[in-house]
Amino acid sequence: MKKFLGILIGMAIVSTVCYFAFVYYATYSEGVRSGELIKFSSKGMVFKTYEGELSQGISGAQIFSFSVLDSDEKVIADLKELEGHYVKLTYIERYKTFPWWGDSVYYIKEVKKENSPFKIK
């Protein structure tokens, strides 16, 4: 009985470690999105996370919600500076997220200011 319990507990620990390693390292997709940065804020009661929204249409009907990890300080500073401007965001999409990482499965890795295609010249 002790051997069975030891194997069961060992399998539970290995399964938990494998799950967290998968969520931490595995990415579903990578890409780039462009639009007007309409919102960027720090929010949360227990876990403070950085969340933002990118408007990808003229009417604001297409909203791309994203998160930024606390360790990406340059990205956070760039997003604060470029709020209200047309930007290009490079992101990764994860399968799942942790509560202390943010609400979205999309994480921004790089920000570039772009010229808006909607401006009248």
So what's the pLDDT on residue 120? 62
- Answer yes or no: is 17 within a domain: no
DSSP 3-state of 62: coil
Number of structural domains (the chain) is: 1
pLDDT digits (tens), the chain, 121 positions:
888 899 999 999 999 999 988 888 888 899 999 989 999 999 888 888 899 999 887 666 789 999 998 888 999 999 999 998 999 999 999 988 888 888 889 999 999 998 877 766 5
Beta bridge partners of 50: 42, 68
The predicted structure's pLDDT at residue 97? 84
In a domain, 69, yes or no: yes
Residues in Cβ contact with 51 at an 8 Å cutoff, skipping those fewer than 6 apart = 39, 40, 41, 42, 43, 65, 66, 67, 68, 102, 103, 104
Look up the CATH number of the domain holding residue 103.
Answer: 2.40.50.140
Kindly state whether residue 6 falls inside one of the protein's structural domains.
no
